[in-house]
Structure 1
Amino acid sequence: MGREGGPDEDEFADALLEEELRQAAAVLDPVPAELLQTALDAFALHDLDARLAELTFDSLMDALPVRGIMDPPRMLTFRAGEVTVDVEVTADGLIGQVLPPQSARIEVLGGPGAARPVTADTLGRFTSDTPPTGPFALRLRTDADLIVTEWLRA
């Protein structure tokens, strides 16, 4: 006597059960929107043409304290080859410059928030009026390069 369900029927039954379990999990234990956005942002960084800009200066680690200044802005310097990005992080947002001076489109990447684009002028200067509130990175698109900075905590 042969078996009623062949290999194809067993695979189909397994696929149906898997889909039912997937739907039940989506209803009973959905992925939080913030986590999903973070995963999408991380995937967006997966660009094989991007160069990683290394953090070469962080005032939290490298600067000497100045007497009388209670809450100095955080100063960061990133370098990728010949391109340097200087950034000042304040409670009001970011101020920075791309060197050598050039136009660039800069995205401020954050955890659960969407990327916030800003534009550097022909002198390389840019500002963002939204301060980073958690982990953040910068993605720069110049005429010649795509550069992504290291992720830092604000």
Structure 2
Amino acid sequence: MSGAGDMNDGTAFDEDLGDGLLEEELRQAATVLDPLPPALLQSAVDAFALHDLDARVAELTFDSLVDAIPVRGVTDAPRMLTFTAGEVTLDVEVTEQGIMGQVLPPRPARIEMLGGPQAAVSLTADDMGRFTADTPPRGPFALRLRTGGSVVETEWLRA
């Protein structure tokens, strides 16, 4: 005697197979009708290539856009950012003219300003940990700091 809830006739398997075929057809249609923009694909590839398992992520601990008290009359104040990863602190000032910052405790370092599909801008911090770039970040950006054997990457922010 077969009840209404008896699924031994293969119906569930056929539905799963049909769902899989439908999903594949929808993926193909989306690829043709709404292709992934090349710049977005390159950004995704670049972001994956930037992934470094040995890197520590520096947490944003201060952002003047969020944490500072506005000063009356000042309309184009620089954006001040502080990132922290363990004993390393990275203070950064972002303006329309570029960025400048300091690694604390002071030490020489190589710094890369990452900017999505744009090529990374290489910077060098001096013995006092100071660095500058004449190019301001445009769009999302992050900083990668290499000092000694350690790598620290900041969170990504929008300029």
2:111 to 83, 86, 106: 106
Q: Secondary structure at the match of 1:38?
A: helix
Deviation at 1:136, TM superposition (A): 0.4
User: What residue is the counterpart of 2:101 in the other structure?
Assistant: 96
Residue correspondences, number: 130
User: What residue is the counterpart of 2:14 in the other structure?
Assistant: none
C-alpha separation between the residues in 2 aligned to 1:33 and 1:131?
24
Deviation at 1:30, TM superposition (A): 7.3
1:135-146 alignment, distance < 5 Å: 135-146=140-151
Deviation at 1:43, TM superposition (A): 1.3
2:39 to 25, 34, 41: 34
User: What residue is the counterpart of 1:119 in the other structure?
Assistant: 124
Deviation at 1:41, TM superposition (A): 2.3
2:66 to 54, 61, 65: 61
C-alpha separation between the residues in 2 aligned to 1:137 and 1:110?
7
C-alpha separation between the residues in 2 aligned to 1:40 and 1:118?
23
Deviation at 1:35, TM superposition (A): 2.1
5+ residue gaps, structure 2, are 1-30
TM-score (norm 2): 0.75
C-alpha separation between the residues in 2 aligned to 1:102 and 1:30?
46
Q: Secondary structure at the match of 1:65?
A: coil
Question: 1:136–1:153: 8 Å Cα contact kept in structure 2?
Answer: yes
5+ residue gaps, structure 1, are 1-24
Superposed CA RMSD in Å reads 1.9
Of residues 36-45 and 86-95 in structure 1, the stretch that sits farther from structure 2 once superposed is 36-45
Q: Deviation digits for residues 2-25 of structure 1, max 9, x if unmatched? A: xxxxxxxxxxxxxxxxxxxxxxx7
Deviation at 1:114, TM superposition (A): 1.1
Deviation at 1:29, TM superposition (A): 8.4
C-alpha separation between the residues in 2 aligned to 1:99 and 1:112?
29
TM-score (norm 1): 0.78
1:75-86 alignment, distance < 5 Å: 75-86=80-91
C-alpha separation between the residues in 2 aligned to 1:40 and 1:111?
10
Identity of aligned residues (%): 72
Flag the structure with larger Rg: 2
Q: Secondary structure at the match of 1:115?
A: strand
